[in-house]
Structure 1
Amino acid sequence: MNRAGILLFDGVEELDAIGPWEVLSAWSLQFPEDGWEVALCAAEAGPVTAAKTAVFTPHEVRTDDYQLIVVPGGQGTRRILREPATLEWVRAAHRRGALVTSVCTGALVLAAAGLLAGRPVTTYHSAYDELLELAPDCRPDRDSRWVDSGDVVTSAGVSAGIDMALHLVDRLAGTERARQVRRAIQYDPEPPV
């Protein structure tokens, strides 16, 4: 069984984590034959207070057996930039061949972990200066909702994580499966304004 871990931490932006969760869990639960399971994980057990005060309880303490990790954004990422253990967890996942992804300012964590050098990358629209301070040689893509550079995938802010997660299903299980998941979660964006 392949495993995906979505990292939770105090100050995580709610939709950055729950958007990909909705896509990946809908996929894994409705199509178990694809061989994936997804968990919300954190550095330690116990509740996590998100950016807009939602409180989440992770399924598990983060492990080293994920084939896919999602690092969401939010103000809490700035604290993670100073957490050597979390940065090493991200680097170790990459070294062992996991697909490392980010939503929004989760890209800052990937940059601090040293994974974005020379890569095309996207992040939240107002976070490019911070990104370039951490990874001055990355190649910012300010127009894309997500950027796939092989073993690292980044997405722009908040709702763009849903698009990225659908891309991941497409990449890992095929276009038809991604369309089935998109239909199941009734994701057909038509903003009213």
Structure 2
Amino acid sequence: MSTGHHLRVGIFVFDDAEELDVVGPYEVLSYWARTSDLRPEVVTFSVDGFGVRCAKGLRLVPDLSAAELGPVHVLVYPGGSGTRPLLRDSEHLEWVRTMRASTPLMTSVCTGALVYAAAGLLSGRPATTYWSAFDELATLDPSILADTEARFVDDGDVVTSAGVSAGIDMALHLVARLESVEAAKAVRRGIQYDPEPPV
């Protein structure tokens, strides 16, 4: 990484990204950034640097454009219906492959995995995605070893996670992996993430 040991996390945002896919990991990783001696930097970016409208109408203004991003240690690629035009965009898939070549840890939430699949990043590897998108995943790349049970799948330099709220679990796993289990537990306590759904 050309910026020395400084940990940078880039969260990609785009029109019709699923809100919690973006904000869940952002909450976890930003809380970690504020409390960790590693002082990671968490930034959001869109292709052109302009604001995006997420799937349910939440508008986000990112920090940077893709061109301004610079090197990151971790890329977080959310899901949502906005992934469908992106996975058919050859220029965008080329950008994903370029990021892959320079980014130690490529991560996805929900249907973000479909874009990674379309770019060829998941060939022959274990991966997960949103529960209703496994057929799409198999169509894009039949060689992917789909894990329909896991909340997230860590395959070294690529980490995929299941739908929406699973991105929170994946982000906590990233904190544990990049710093320590203790640090991840402290973040989990800090954001009071202790799910016991009432239904």
User: TM-score per shorter chain, which class?
Assistant: over 0.9
Question: How many aligned positions are there?
Answer: 192
Q: 1:35 to 1:86 in 2, by over 3 A?
A: farther
- What amino acid maps onto 1:90 in structure 2? V
Q: 6, 18, 23: which one pairs with 1:18?
A: 23
Deviation at 1:27, TM superposition (A): 0.4
Give the secondary structure class of the aligned counterpart of 2:113: helix
Partner of 2:137: 131
RMSD: 1.0
Partner of 2:38: 34
- 2:81 matched to 1:81? no
Deviation at 1:91, TM superposition (A): 1.3
Percent pairwise identity? 55
- Cα distance in 1, alignment partners of residues 38 and 196 from structure 2: 30
Partner of 2:52: 48
Runs (4+) of structure 1 exceeding 4 A deviation are none
Contact 2:17 / 2:78 at 8 angstroms: preserved in 1? yes
- Cα distance in 2, alignment partners of residues 53 and 41 from structure 1: 18
Partner of 2:197: 191
Unaligned stretches of 5+ residues in structure 1: none
Unaligned stretches of 5+ residues in structure 2: 1-5
- Cα distance in 2, alignment partners of residues 26 and 85 from structure 1: 34
Instruction: Write out aligned runs for 1:1-193 (5 A).
Output: 1-31=6-36, 33-62=37-66, 63-193=69-199
TM-score by length of 2: 0.94
- Cα distance in 2, alignment partners of residues 57 and 97 from structure 1: 23
Deviation at 1:29, TM superposition (A): 1.5
